[in-house]
Structure 1
Amino acid sequence: MLEKIFKLKEHNTSVKTEIIAGITTFMTMAYILAVNPSVLGDAGMDGTAVLLATCIASFIGTICMALSANLPFVLSAGMGLNAYLAYTVVGVMGYHWQVALLAVFVEGLIFIVLSLTNVREAIFDAIPLNLKKGVSVGIGIFIAFIGLQNSKLVIANSSTLVSITNFTKDFHSAGICALLTVIGLFITVILYIKQVPGSILIGILATWIIGMLCQVTGLYVPNVKTGYYSLFPTFAMTDFSKLGETFGKCFQYDLNKVGIVNFIIVVFSFLFVDLFDTLGTLVGVSTKANMLDENGKLPGIKPALLSDAIATTAGAVLGTSTVTTFVESSSGVAAGGRTGLTAIVSGFLFLISMFFAPIFTAIPSFATAPALIMVGFLMFGAITDIKFTDDNMTEAVPAYLCIISMPLFYSISEGISIGIISYVILNLICGKAKKITPLMY
């Protein structure tokens, strides 16, 4: 049955590999169950309600992706997009979170229309292959940087912006976490080199277990005030009635208090950020998985984009920010995931996590950081496909700008937009306008 639905043999994979890949993807994404309630909580939303909404919306979107597109991509509330809602739309612009969710709902409806009319697919196909390779490399560096930050290996520095951590300072919290990330990275890399199945997942679990041993021996000391919690999961149940705090609330606000023009501005802000974020992720992950055809197109892109749009719409009704395809899907791809079965596994884990959220959210960031760093390395390999020669500069320079923009500007959408803009300008001015498709303009 699974073979018939997901065509495992055709994609050179197996049920075991897909299950491991699905678990791996979920493990690297589980942090969203802790982070999203915290971020949207700053906008005045109930944390438990946000967690439940995130789980359900992730399940809906991921199952749609699996069954309609048969792709190993997993969806959840997008990082950056949730911060934009909480700290810009609500914090800076001063709108109520219900208005922000309504804007996300409208954005989702627009994306559904654009997906059904092939507009989003056409935009994806219009991006040149070299630039798609650059997107993959840029995302690889970006998520590796996220892993380094999450583990506190990279810290803020007033003079150089970032620097390596001082392992001896706060050794029993920040220092030991950074050290455990290094140890976990070596474990993951060694297992991967030795071609051990599920090496990335094993690396996550091994690092977490070593961390728990450090807590038992006193090397790691939890400190809630500084954000260092116990590494052992609790077994409290979730209050499901809290979902009523956000469910359908996006329709219960008087837009006259906002003004239609202001509301349209908010909608289009979400629209464009989500468009480039989703396209960038799909390009990067599918490139890593060798899913693009000889013309640089992704078979099944239309249902994938439609699944993304449906998840965003459903998420807004449930009570969470824009749901989008997660770049961490690349961890499952790196673990061998090639079909929708990978997504099915991750989707059901999100659903199950509603009942055991405290267990899943106990996965420390220093345990998932080695997986992100390793996946970053694997995605970086696409750089060898970009020709950095004199006769290819109008292709290579945009790819280069895209690559460096993502980690330095901390945004996938900024990176891909800069890559596209520079591609058009350079080819137009350098007499290669024939290479530019209308949609690239």
Structure 2
Amino acid sequence: MTAGWYADVAERISSANYTFFHAAALRRSANFVDDLLGDLRDRGFDALLVDCAEVLRNGWRSALPVGQSGNLYVIWRPEALLRRSDFEDLIRQARPPVHSALMEGNRVVIVSTMPQMMFPVPVGSSVIADAAKVHPQPVSATLLRRVVPSLSSDTAERIVLRARGCVALAEGYALVDRSTASGNQKSREAEALLLATLREAFAELGPEILALLEHLVLECGVVDVPQMDLRDHWIAALEDAGLATIDDSTELVRLFHPSWRDTARLALSQALRAVLQPPSAWQKIATSLFELERTVRSVVSQGLEARYGEGWRQAGLGPLAPKVVALARAETQSDVGSVADLHSPLDWLVLDQLFALAAETAQHVRLGGISSREWRQFSERVVPVRNRMSHMRLPRPGDLDEVRRTLRILGARIRTTSVPSAGRQPGPADRDLNSVSAGAPRATHPPGAS
């Protein structure tokens, strides 16, 4: 096989000085870097590879030397930088040499196995986000025969149809077709190739989109999604990865080709199981849930005390009391006789029990200025997030926003209702409310924070 897979990419790069190419698993040939550089050089570019693994060792100035012109710098694998805790600093450091290279008459193309939207934008601008995206064309039978001349026209058409225009599959299926294996063995090899390629394609999308696909495909069985239900950058990432198409007539985003769907579900499940490190959003949600749950405990415990006085532990928990005692005994191995022996019995309640207790208590005292109905609504929104976190599942898009929104509402209500209305003296209800809010943590997040 000879180079030629990326002639269309080389042509698109020639139309702009500064570009980004998402070389997803379905888009990559077996010898991707050599094939891409070969097609760029055939196009007349003096293509120089800048491997970001080398940038980590020697810095950007060594990779993009000052004073040269007429080159095409191919910045390969910026995801190597993304794995570093100082990623934003490394990207900021790239701006001066990249801009200097462009000003000196060079071209720059950033080539990544990950979608452009996966890279956070540091304060200022990002050399990744600022680059114009290159969209490759689907592999045609003509291109396949040019790369693999031994294929007949009919065979090339059949392979391209099965590969759905994807370089990795077209190349792999061509190799399988040329082997001397039996027909059944060839079918098994082709299916194994599809499974492995799809699994890699899913892994490259990152945990946010993986969690989204888990919910849509594996939990809800949905593969045709209304375009309005998805954010634009999710759609762009899925399209660039070769995993989705948009049906303009119905405004549906169609996930996977119908002939791939069973294999795609298996590949998606395998990609999810392979995620062993928590995404950055997971830690933020865990921190926010900690603040939220302890705030609710404080509000509820003080509300129960306002209602029942010193005997609030025994009177306030009702049928939950035996469960609390049993859990406390099992975990602490201490001689707990009743909830009266526990300094903070609400610590043994899970969040849905805590919200239910808040809703019941709010019927009798002003609990943070929040009604029973609102406490139940909080539970419906937040408990599913907390359950996913407790089972170490990937957070879904929007989970962090949901928890932060609830925290903001709770904090604002506590602050507002703790101040008696002007022109009247505090009454018993205000006493109860002030008692509840005085010791509660204050969530002071500005609107829109997440």
TM (normalized to structure 2)? 0.23
**Greater Rg, structure 1 or structure 2?**
2
Bigger fraction of residues in strand: 2
Bigger fraction of residues in helix: 1
